[in-house]
Amino acid sequence: MREYLELLLQREGYSVTSVAGVKAACDLLALDGVDLVISDLKLGTGSGLDVLRAARARTAAPEVVLITAYGTPSAAVEAMREGAYDYICKPFDNEELRLLVQKALEKRSLREENTGLRARLFPGLDGAVGQSARMQAVWSLVEKVASGRSTVLVTGESGTGKELVARAIHMRGSRAARPFLPFNCAALNEGTLESELFGHVKGAFTGATHDRSGLLVAAGDGTVMLDEVGEMPLATQVKLLRVLQERKVKPVGSAAEIPFQARVIAATNRRLEAEVKAGRFREDLFYRLNVITVELPPLRERSGDISLLAGYFLSRMAEELGRPGLRFAPETLALLERYPFPGNVRQLQNMVERAATLSDSDLLGPSTLPPAVRGVSEPAARTAEGGEPGLGAGFNLERHLDDSERRYLLAAMKQAGGVKTRAAELLGLSFRSFRYRLAKHGLTDELEPGGPSDA
């Protein structure tokens, strides 16, 4: 199989090196220069997961595709959790593997280009964009706390970039080569939340068919980010407090405690002091999490960063869309800088994506921005008798066109039988643009039951 894959990929123009066994693979990875690893999951006494972990531990980690004849859902989940790009079962189709290799290498190439771009925009802190005094203070604090192991609490409104800061803390410290595992505390009920964080043993509850390590143990020497920690149930808060104090977890259904080494970074958009006073958050846990606080300012308080952020997001969209000439008109940037952005950086990113996706020109003028940013009201368009639109006071062409667009989208979805790619073709749109327009009009769940197909 090794010789077959080597010959197959060399014919595709790739430079290929093949080795036998986990140790030889790890030795080769230590030399760097590898962009993609393809490994069997079963390697005699070793495992492809060991090769995966060695690959992910590299500073410039290659993508990893695992191949096995013993494909099981649990093995696939474990591989993806450990950071594999994808998972393919034997027997496989040559074309399927070729496409997988191509996509994996494209992902790595984009990641490297984005890393270089981020470094140029803000030297010394990958992924961080912002030159205002408020953000300079944040990055300075990030640099100071990155090398320690203290628990950090990142606070700020939704969309301010709390996960980006948590990742920056992780990447600037000695744990950078280890896993970074973000976890949303508001996404699961109490029982599932504890199982995900602390793990469980076989038979602990219905569906627990095998022992499973929780995130705190699975992260090893890495970092676990507890996002939306303010939404955590009180009962779980009690257990988390003990876990943080003792640095040990007790899996659900087990009497034994397991030590863990991961650093914990918590994040919330709530004012935890107010939550403590309201009785919704434990005071002792608050003080345990609040060893070091990094508070992110809302975008409206760092308006000097808006043009820089908008340019950064536009460069990413230009690369993704294959349109290197995309640029903002000066009046467009002026409108963005005056807008208060209640949704913060995330709203700005979505706005730039909308403008780049829908614009027919490389120059993004004010018309590519939502009406609210341009200061245009959106009253319902009046219709005169006989079906002609009334063009008097209150008429808004943008709203009228939106209504027409929605009707065309519905008609295309109906004619295509709910298949989105076919509906996009009927309208002469790219799939990306079509999907954006569906979301804009709230039509992502049309043609229930089952919803539309992306196929």
Give the three-state DSSP class for 437.
helix
Q: Do 93 and 206 reside in the same domain of the chain?
A: no
Please indicate, yes or no, if residue 3 is contained in any of the structural domains.
yes
Q: Rounded distance, CA 396 to CA 377, Å?
A: 8
Percent with pLDDT over 70 in the chain: 85
Q: Do 61 and 205 reside in the same domain of the chain?
A: no
* Strands laid side by side in the 86-89 sheet: 36-40, 63-68, 86-89
Judge contact between 161 and 218, C-beta under 8 A: no
Closest CA to 162 of 350, 347, 345: 345
Q: Which of 201-205, 376-380, 447-451 has the highest mean pLDDT?
A: 201-205
Q: Do 285 and 330 reside in the same domain of the chain?
A: no
Residue 268: Cβ within 10 Å count: 23
Q: Evaluate if residue 145 carries a pLDDT over 60.
A: yes
Last residue of a domain, one of 297, 329, 357: 297
Please indicate, yes or no, if residue 110 is contained in any of the structural domains.
yes
At 114 the pLDDT is 59
Q: Token pair of 432, please?
A: 């990306």
Give the structural domain span for 267: 133-297
Q: Do 155 and 283 reside in the same domain of the chain?
A: yes
CATH at residue 254: 3.40.50.300
Higher-pLDDT residue of 84 and 400 is: 84
Higher-pLDDT residue of 92 and 262 is: 262
CATH at residue 407: 1.10.10
| Span 6-56, pLDDT tens digits | 999 999 899 999 998 888 898 888 887 899 999 988 887 888 888 988 888
Q: Evaluate if residue 238 carries a pLDDT over 90.
A: yes
Q: Which of 18-32, 68-82, 275-289, 414-428 has the highest mean pLDDT?
A: 275-289
Q: Write the CA distances from 335 to 194, 305, 309, 368, integer angstroms.
A: 46, 14, 14, 11
Q: Do 287 and 416 reside in the same domain of the chain?
A: no
Q: Rounded distance, CA 4 to CA 246, Å?
A: 51
Residue entry with tokens 């940037």: 333
According to DSSP, residue 278 is labeled: T
Q: Do 21 and 167 reside in the same domain of the chain?
A: no
The total number of structural domains in the chain stands at 4
Q: Do 149 and 274 reside in the same domain of the chain?
A: yes
> For helices 190-198 and 234-246, what crossing angle results, to 10°?
10
Higher-pLDDT residue of 448 and 181 is: 181
Q: Do 90 and 185 reside in the same domain of the chain?
A: no
